[in-house]
Structure 1
C-alpha cells in the first residue's frame, strides 16, 4: 500500500492507497513526487487521474500515527527545514518531500476523482495537482487542521485564487467540512456524480482531452498556469509567443479565413 502509479491507454493513474482513510505518509510524498516527474516525460501518459483507492476516502490527510518528525535538537530542527532531504536515509521524514510536491510545476493535466473524505493534505494534493475535478455524491472536503492549532494550508494551495475568496475564507477559518454539492456551488469541483461513477466520469473527461493534439494541450496548460501568476500585459505577451511558436508548425494556417491547417510532416 502507498501511492501507486500506473499508465494505461494514455492515462496515468495516481492512486492514494493506505488503509481505511488513505492517510499520507512521508514515503508517499516522495513516491508521488517521483511519479509526477515520470508523468512529465512519458509520451504515453497524456493525462492523469488522481484518486483514492476506495469509496470511503480520497485521503483524510497526513498519517497521524506516523511520527511527524524524528526527535531533534533545535539546531537539527532548523537544519531539517533548510535542507529537507539531508538526513532522510532510506525512510523519509518530515519536513521533506511534501515541500517538493507543493513547489512542483507541471504542464500536463490531471483530473481529480474524489469519493469520501478529502481533507488536510488530501486537499493540498487536490488543489495543487488536479485541474478538473469530479466528486462522488459522498465526498466531503475540508482543512480541519485549524481545530488543533495547525494552519497555513490556504496559503500553500493559494486557495483564495482557486475558489471565491469568501468560500476560501469559510473553509480556512471555520475548519468546517463542505459536501459535494457545496463544493460544486463554490467551483471546487466541476461535476458531482453517483459515487460508483466517479472514476468512470474522470476517465471519460480524460478521453476528451486525449483526442486533442498533445502539443496543443501542453501549450494551453502552460498559458493557463503561467497566466495566473503574470501581469495582464505579460500574460498576453507570453500566450501570444506560445501561440506563434506552436502554430508555426502547422501547414496552411492563416492561408484562408477559418483554416487552421494540419501539422507539418516530419
Structure 2
C-alpha cells in the first residue's frame, strides 16, 4: 500500500489512501456516484485498513468520501444486482458479506477510526460511518436507512446501528426509512460533533492530533477491551477488564506515562 494517494489494484483510483502526520486517510473517490461502494471499493478498503494496521507510522485512521455532497450513499445498485454481478444469486450473496468483513477489520484495527462525514451517509454508507469510533459531521450531512422504501432491509448494518444508538431509535430509522439531520444525529448520540462544512477539516485534524498523541499500545489494548466487552454479561466483563488492566499496567508506555507525570514532562511513547 502506498501513501501517495493511490490504491494498488484500482486503476481508476476509486479509493484513495494517504498517510500524513501519523494519520491514514481512506477516501472513497466516486463523487459522481455519491461515493457508492462497489466490490473494488470494498476490497480496496480492506487492503487499506490492513496496511494502516501494520504501519508503525500510523496511529489514527480517517474514513471519508470525496466531494462535498456525500460521505457514502451505500452500495452501488447498478453493480450489486445479481444480473450485473456475473455470478448469479450465490455470488451476490457472498459478495454482500464483504461489508461485514470491512466492519470486522475496523473493529479489530487496534487504533482509533474517525469518520469525516462530509455529506449524505445512507444505507451501507450509514453503517460504514457508524463502524468508526468517532464521527465528525458537516452541518449538511444526513443519515438514514432508505432500504425499506425499495422493499429491502438494512440487514448488514443492524449490528453497528444497535451498537451506536438505543434499539428503539435504530428500529424506528430502519422501519421508516426517514433521514436524520446532523443536528438530530448528535442528539441521538451517534455523531460526536457537528461543524460548518468549511470547518470540517480543521475539526477532524484537531481530533486526530489529540488521538495520535496518546500511547498506541494503551490505545490498542483499551479499544480492544471496549469492543470485546460490549456484548458481554456484566460479571464476565468485569473479570475480563480486571485482567486487561493488569496487561496495560505492565506495558512500557504505562511506566513511561506515570514516570513522565511525576517528573512533570511530556511522555515519550514507545508503543509497547
TM-score range, shorter chain: 0.7 to 0.9
Q: Is 1:11–1:49's contact at 8 Å kept on the other side of the alignment?
A: yes
Q: What is the CA–CA distance in structure 1 between the aligned matches of 2:176 and 2:269, rounded to whole Å? A: 55
TM-fit CA distance, 1:72: 5.0
Q: Is 2:80–2:92's contact at 8 Å kept on the other side of the alignment?
A: no
Match for residue 134 of structure 2?
132
TM-fit CA distance, 1:166: 2.7
Q: Is 1:245 equivalent to 2:257 in the alignment? A: no
Q: What is the CA–CA distance in structure 2 between the aligned matches of 1:162 and 1:243, rounded to whole Å? A: 25
Q: Is 1:7 equivalent to 2:8 in the alignment? A: no
Alignment equivalent of 1:19, drawn from 23, 26, 31? 31
Q: Is 2:142–2:180's contact at 8 Å kept on the other side of the alignment?
A: yes
* Unpaired runs of at least 5, structure 2: 1-12
TM-fit CA distance, 1:259: 6.2
Q: Is 1:103 equivalent to 2:126 in the alignment? A: no
Does the residue aligned with 1:135 lie in a helix, a strand or coil?
A: strand
Q: What is the CA–CA distance in structure 2 between the aligned matches of 1:243 and 1:64, rounded to whole Å? A: 46
Q: Is 1:251–1:263's contact at 8 Å kept on the other side of the alignment?
A: no
TM-fit CA distance, 1:127: 1.4
TM-fit CA distance, 1:96: 5.2
Q: Is 1:252–1:260's contact at 8 Å kept on the other side of the alignment?
A: no
Q: Is 2:127–2:157's contact at 8 Å kept on the other side of the alignment?
A: no
Match for residue 68 of structure 1?
81
Does the residue aligned with 1:150 lie in a helix, a strand or coil?
A: coil
Any idea what the Cα deviations from partners look like across 1:15-71, whole Å, max 9, x if unmatched? Answer: 111033111111101111111122211111101111111111101111122252335
More displaced 10-residue stretch of structure 1: 106-115 or 146-155: 146-155
TM-fit CA distance, 1:98: 2.2
Q: What is the CA–CA distance in structure 1 between the aligned matches of 2:239 and 2:23, rounded to whole Å? A: 32
Match for residue 190 of structure 1?
192
User: Within 5 A, what are the aligned runs for 1:142-157?
Assistant: 142-153=144-155, 156-157=158-159
Stretches of 4+ aligned residues off by more than 6 angstroms: 252-255, 258-266
More displaced 10-residue stretch of structure 1: 171-180 or 243-252: 243-252
User: Within 5 A, what are the aligned runs for 1:44-83?
Assistant: 44-69=57-82, 70-71=85-86, 77-78=89-90, 81=93
Counterparts in 2 of 1:96 and 1:199: CA distance versus 1, 3 Å: same
Alignment equivalent of 2:41, drawn from 17, 28, 33? 28
More displaced 10-residue stretch of structure 1: 172-181 or 99-108: 99-108
Does the residue aligned with 2:78 lie in a helix, a strand or coil?
A: coil
TM-fit CA distance, 1:3: 1.7
Does the residue aligned with 1:66 lie in a helix, a strand or coil?
A: helix
Any idea what the Cα deviations from partners look like across 1:74-112, whole Å, max 9, x if unmatched? Answer: xxx34764xx4xxxxxxxxx3352232133332211011
TM-fit CA distance, 1:152: 3.2
Q: What is the CA–CA distance in structure 1 between the aligned matches of 2:205 and 2:269, rounded to whole Å? A: 30
Q: What is the CA–CA distance in structure 2 between the aligned matches of 1:78 and 1:123, rounded to whole Å? A: 25
TM-score norm. by structure 1 comes to: 0.84
Q: Is 1:162 equivalent to 2:158 in the alignment? A: no
